[in-house]
Amino acid sequence: MQETWRWFGPNDSISLEKIIQAGASGIVSSLHEIPTGEAWPLDAIQARKKIIEDAGLEWSVIESIPMHNDIKTRTRNFQRYIDNYKESILNAGKAGVKVVCYNFMPVVDWTRTNLMYLLPNASHALRFEMTDFAAYDVYLLQRAGAEADYSPQVMARAKERFDAMSDEEKILLEKNIIAGLPGGEGSYTRDTIRAAIQQFIDLGTEGMREHLFQFLREIIPVAESVGVKMCIHPDDPPFSLFGLPRVVSTADDARKILQAVPSESNGLTLCAGSYGARGDNDLVAMANEFGPRIYFVHLRNVTREEDGSFFEAEHLNGDNDMVGLVNALLCEERRRNKAGESNFCIPMRPDHGHLMGDEIGKADVKPGYSYAGRMKGLAELRGVIHTLETLQKRNSLAL
C-alpha cells in the first residue's frame, strides 16, 4: 500500500519536508482556495502538482473537489455546477492526478461534538456524543420534530445535559457541529442550517440516492475519458443526523452505487472509521467484496458506544479489525498485480490522529490533523503492513 498524507496546501503548518520525514511518499490534497462549485483550472492543478513533485512526493489523490449542495438537491444552478465539476475532472486527468475522493453528504460534512476529548494518556481525540448532539438538535437548533429521532433515554440525558450547560459550552458545541471543519464545504448559522436541513428532509433517502446516481451518470463518462477513478467517501457518521437522508452508510449503499454505474471509474473510498462507526458494517467483508473498486483507503479506528456515540481510537486498538482489513486490502493488491496491474498499490492514509505532546494548545493545528498523532498512526500501520506482507510472501514461497 502507498503511504500518503493529507496536506492542506502551501499554508499548511505541516510542511512537505515534515511529511517526507514521517515516511509518506504520496500526498492527498485539494485546491482549497477555489470556491465550492467553481471549476479547477488546469494551470492551478499543474502548479500545485509541481510543488508536490519538486519536494520529492507524488500527488496521489485529490481529496476533494467539493460538491455544491445545488448538485445534491438538483435545484437552482445545479447543471452549471455539474459542468464545472466535469471540467475539474478533465483537468485533473490531464494533469496526471488520477484518483478523486469526494462525498455526497447533505448539509454538514464529517460531524463531531467534541474536538478535544481527553483520553487516559492525556492526549486528545475527536468524539461524537449522541447526548450532546441531541441536546443541540432539540434545544438549541430547535429543529421541528427533532424529538422523534431520539430514544426516550437519549432525550432524558439530553435535557439534563442541556440544562447543565453554560453559555460558553453551548457556543462551543454549536461551533463544533456547524461552523465548518477541515474538509467541509462551509459554515452555517442556526437559521440557514434549518432551511438547508428541511430541503434535504423533503427530498428523502431515495430522492437523494437518485440524485447521486444522476450525478454519476454525467460524471463517470468524463472520468473514463481521462483515466480518472472517482471514489466516494462514506457518510460520517454513517447514520442520519438532523433527520437528513444518508445514502453512503452501509455495504448495501455501496453495492447500489457500484451497480448504478458499472464502470471501473466509479469506485469507493473505504474509510474504516466512517463505515466502522456502525457495528453492522463488516469492514473485512466489504474489502473482500468491493476490493476491485476500492481506490483509496482511510485507515482510522473508532471505539463505539451503545447509543451511537464514538470516539477516534488508537489506530490499532479500536473496535475495527484493522489487521484483518489491511490483510484483505493487501490480498486485493496481489490479485491486481497478478492480473497485470504491475506495481499496483492502494493509496492509504492515517486519519484523525490524536492531539498530543507539544501540539496541545497550538492554534494552528487542525482538529484531527495533528502531525505527531498521524505520524504515530502511520508508523503503527506501517508495522502491520510490513508484517503481513512478509507473511504473505513466506506463504507464497512455501506453496
Please confirm, yes or no, whether 352 is among the known catalytic residues: yes
pLDDT tens-digit map of 126-174: 999 999 999 999 999 999 999 999 999 999 999 999 999 999 999 999 9
Please confirm, yes or no, whether 271 is among the known catalytic residues: yes
**Cis amide linkage into residue 64, ω under 30° from 0:** yes
Catalytic residue selected from 211, 233, 315, 354: 233
Q: Confidence class of residue 184 from pLDDT cuts 50, 70 and 90?
A: very low
Q: Which domains does the chain have, with CATH numbers?
A: 2-109+204-398 (3.20.20.150)
Question: How far apart are alpha carbons 59 and 43 in whole angstroms?
Answer: 15
Look at residue 187 in the predicted model and tell me its pLDDT. Answer: 63
Please confirm, yes or no, whether 233 is among the known catalytic residues: yes
Catalytic residue selected from 68, 124, 352, 354: 352
The percent of residues above 70 in pLDDT, for the chain, comes to 96
Look at residue 20 in the predicted model and tell me its pLDDT. Answer: 98
Overall average pLDDT of the 377-394 stretch: 94
Catalytic residue selected from 109, 253, 351, 371: 351
Most confident of 176-190, 274-288, 385-399: 274-288
Overall average pLDDT of the 38-62 stretch: 98
**pTM value > 0.85:** yes
pLDDT tens-digit map of 229-275: 999 999 999 999 999 999 999 999 999 999 999 999 999 999 999 99
Residue 182 reports pLDDT greater than 90: no
Please confirm, yes or no, whether 351 is among the known catalytic residues: yes
**Order of strands, sheet of 114-118, starting from the edge strand that comes earlier in the sequence:** 114-118, 124-128, 310-312, 302-304
Are 145 and 243 in contact, with CB atoms under 8 Å apart? yes
Q: Is 257 left (phi over 0), alpha (psi -120 to 50) or beta?
A: alpha
Are 381 and 299 in contact, with CB atoms under 8 Å apart? yes
Catalytic residue selected from 298, 315, 354, 371: 298
